[in-house]
Structure 1
Amino acid sequence: MDPELAGLASVAAATVVQLLTTAGWERAQTSMGALWRRVYPDRADTVESELEESRAVLLAAREGADDPAEVEQAEAELVGEWQGRLRRLLAAEPDLAAELRRILTDDLGSEPPGRGRDEPSMRVSVRALDSSRVYVAGRDQHITEEGGR
């Protein structure tokens, strides 16, 4: 998949999941339903229902979690799930990318300050435990480790 489309799917999924527990969740649900309705009208109602289910899962996680990591895990799983759906949709219908960008900017208000409309953004959360290493890059990353590591 085109890296730009993959990035767009990632941003859109994170934005939609973030909105699920806010007053803007219905706007996200309607916008995603409208996106699917453009090419798969028979699936749009299902997508809207699945967003409602995702919202219920996230609300339950927030209410029942003793550890904030549990909520983060639930959010990450939902972002991954919706990212996969959006990637498949964009892979099948790449022309929807412009509409998804419009939805993000106009309907969901996720355009970061100082960014252009056509430049996707990304939020990354990383947690390293014990002696693990984490490498994060927004573009190319080259790592050379010496000494048997």
Structure 2
Amino acid sequence: MEPQWAAAHFLASDADREHAIEALKQNFQAGRITVDELSERIGHALNARTCGEIDRVMTGLPWQPVTPAPPRYPAFYAPPLPRSKGMGITAFVLGVLGFVCGLTAVPAVVLGLVALTVEPERRDDRGFAVAGLAVGLMWMIIFGWVYFS
């Protein structure tokens, strides 16, 4: 979105004036202006109140005006951080597949615990992680009870 006012009406900062003076010195060294013209233009640059006045001082000379910094938006305008959702869903799928042989229940429990402890505020899959952990534990208990009793 472009501003609705001309940049020439902005108040000039000390950095803008110093930048213009450096550009005047470079143009003097290149032979584009004389010593008297350099002195006069530096005086006008030091007394410039707006960026438009600095532009008038630099008339006829090549130079790059200081570009204004992009506006900084408050934190609530910042885009949200990317969300993580792989481990919890994987834990749930492995937990559900645990009824086949029981071996997938162990990684389901491990992934469910990791998903709940690593960056919990950025996780979208917390429910899947809890479900994968619970189903995995359930299958581990069932198969442990069946095979070891």
Structure 1 length-normalised TM: 0.29
Higher helix share: 2
Which has the bigger relative contact order, CA under 8 A and spacing at least 6? 1
Structure 2 length-normalised TM: 0.29
